[in-house]
Each structure stands twice: as structure tokens, then as C-alpha cells.
Amino acid sequence: MFGDSGVPELLILQSQRARYQGPSMSTHRFRTGDRVKTRKQILDVPAGAVGTVTMVYNTGQDVYIVRFDKYPGPRMIWGTDLEMAAPITLDGSAT
């Protein structure tokens, strides 16, 4: 449980992982700020609902936090349930 230095092994592993700069195993399709829409209904959010990615989970999984335009609150959504949407222009319309 504790390493030779008295520091919990989990913290040591996390520290070593943070220093590792090798190839990433994650394949994120979207970035923070991307406009996305749902491919299917997810709970109370219907298929085709448009929102903005506000956070990308860097856990190796394809998971995003999305704020949808017409549905309050952030939602955790799998990347396979999303696709790119038309970006919003300065006048507020989609391109």
C-alpha cells in the first residue's frame, strides 16, 4: 500500500503517469468548444439535439461533458452518441 518513501503507491503511480510523455491511447473525436449533436435519444435529450462540448475526459475513454442549447445542465455523453454539428456564426445562425 505504501512505497519505500512512505507515500501511497497510487500517488506514486499517478505521478509517474503524469510525467510519461509517450503516445496517448485516447482517441478523442471532439475538443472543448466543438459543436455536437446527438445521434440518438439520451434520457430526456432527443436525437439531433445540439450542444457544445465543455469538457473532455482524459481517461482513455471517449467521454464528454456537453451543454445542450435547449436542455439545462451539463450531460456526460459517450462520443459514439455524438456527431459534429454545424458551428454557430457571429449572427447566431448555424453555417
Q: Domain spans of the chain?
A: 24-84
Q: Report the residue count for the chain.
A: 95
| Mean pLDDT for the stretch of residues 5-17 | 41
Tell me what pLDDT residue 90 has: 77
What was the pLDDT predicted at 17?
Answer: 41
Better pLDDT: 67 or 59: 67
* Buried b / exposed e along 66-85 (16+ C-beta atoms within 10 A): bebeebeeebebebebbeeb
Mean pLDDT value across residues 53-77: 91
Provide mean pLDDT across the span 8-31: 51
Report the pLDDT value the prediction gives residue 47, as an integer from 0 to 100: 96
Tell me what the mean pLDDT of segment 79-90 comes to: 87
Domain 24-84 architecture: Roll (2.30)
